[in-house]
Amino acid sequence: MTISHQFGGQWTEDKLNRLRKYLNAYLTIFKKNKKAIWYRTIYVDAFAGTGNRNFPDLAEATSTPLFPDETDVKAFQEGSARVALEIEPSFDQYLFIEQNPVYARQLEHLRDQFPYKKHSVTVLQGDANQLLVDWCMRTDWQKHRAIVFLDPYGMQVEWNTIDAVARTQAVDLWILFPLGQAVNRLLTRKAPPEGAWADRLTRFLGTPDWKDAFYQPSPQMSLFDAEERKDKTATFESIGTFFLDRLRSVFAGVAKNPLSLYNSTNVPIYLLCFASANPTKAPLAVRIAQDILK
Ligand SMILES: C[S@@+](CC[C@H](N)C(=O)[O-])C[C@H]1O[C@@H](n2cnc3c(N)ncnc32)[C@H](O)[C@@H]1O
């Protein structure tokens, strides 16, 4: 039985098409280039879902900024894990990570549908952050090259995970940054968020600097205000730029034209971003990604 997994919007198709193009370009290089052929290639889908996707009922939207739901969508189509498995030539290894045990079992069924690749597919059920950091440390980067796709609903990715990927110096990263879906919604207008929301932003962005970047002293403050008041000055553009700068601080190369993915009310809910950790190959990887993101 195929389990229903509802997420995304019309933009989901666009996102997966760009990913598909990059996977094709990557494998063409790694299967043909005399130097690249020496490496074993790995595709990692760390928020893998089920391999399929269904569209949810718009009427059921009950989201909060920390746990956004997945609204705005329509029919049954293939998800990223299936997209990756269908591409020929193949990766030498596939790693699918999924927290939801029911979805993880579905990924095992998906693996069974590709008998000739079955031996090269690993499905791990658990938290992507822990499992990915562990994988980055365990893999022999003298012999392997990889693409990691991070496709969370919201802010489930930890900065430590992004940093671990960057430190491999061997991974190309595609990451969905939840711009309007989560980050902008946590940035409350009249003052910076406190407590759990502030902690989440700091863990996600890897620095508390977002407070100064996204808030300025309020022009309406008076001498009688006991504490400095700050207003939100962040825009979708400045939030996106801040995240790209964070990626640039740890990756060898970052695509300068992330793709904005809009919902039906024209809010940029996600940015599809690309970064390459490989110091020697980043310029080529970024050039290919930028072309695909155009
Ligand atoms: C947007 S969906 C991924 C869709 C998938 N990339 C596709 O195209 O079919 C996000 C997935 O991440 C899973 N997830 C959420 N938090 C997670 C975590 N901490 N670790 C691993 N998976 C997680 C959810 O269960 C969900 O299946």
d(CA 70, CA 153): 7
Mutational pocket test of ligand 1: of 19, 23, 44, 47, the residue with most ligand atoms within 8 Å of the beta carbon: 47
**56 assigned to some structural domain:** yes
pTM above 0.95, yes or no: no
- The per-residue pLDDT for 66 is 59
List CB contacts of 135: < 8 A, sequence separation 6 or more. Answer: 44, 95
Give a yes or no: residue 98 inside a domain: yes
Residue 98 Cβ < 6 Å to ligand 1: yes
Task: Provide the residue-wise pLDDT of the chain in tens; the chain has 294 residues.
Answer: 566 666 666 788 899 999 999 999 999 999 998 889 999 999 999 999 999 986 554 333 445 555 554 444 334 589 999 999 999 999 999 999 999 999 999 999 999 999 999 999 999 999 999 999 999 999 999 999 999 999 999 999 999 999 999 999 999 999 999 999 999 999 999 999 999 999 999 999 999 999 999 999 987 766 666 677 899 999 999 999 999 999 999 999 999 999 999 998 999 999 999 999 999 999 999 999 999 999
Range of the domain at 164: 10-181+250-293
What letters, b where the CB count within 10 A reaches 16 and e where it falls short, cover 60-93?
A: eeeeebeebbbbbbeeebbbbbbbbbeeeebbbb
For the CA atoms of 138, 149, 116, 13, the dihedral, rounded to the nearest 10 degrees, stands at: 170
pLDDT of residue 9: 67
pLDDT at position 6 is 63
Q: What CA–CA distance (Å, rounded) separates 20 from 10?
A: 16
Q: Which atom of ligand 1 is nearest to the CA of 47?
A: 12
214 found inside a domain: no
Q: What is the C-alpha separation between 176 and 77, in angstroms, rounded?
A: 19
- Strand 93-98, strand 121-125: pairing: parallel
* Residues linked to residue 138 through DSSP beta bridges, in sequence order: none
**pLDDT given for residue 10 in this prediction:** 75
Q: From ligand 1's centre to the CA of 43, what distance in Å?
A: 16
Residue 286 gets which letter from DSSP?
H
- In a domain? residue 35: yes
207, part of any domain: no
Q: Is 153 in the pocket of ligand 1 (CB under 6 A)?
A: yes
Residue 1 belongs to a domain: no
Domain contains 213: no
154 lines ligand 1 (CB under 6 A): no
Structural domains of the chain, count: 1
Q: Supply the CATH number for residue 162's domain.
A: 3.40.50.150
Is 222 a member of any domain?
Answer: no
Helix (H, G, I), strand (E, B) or coil at 83: helix
- In this prediction, residue 210 carries a pLDDT of 98
Pairing of strands 52-53, 93-98: unpaired
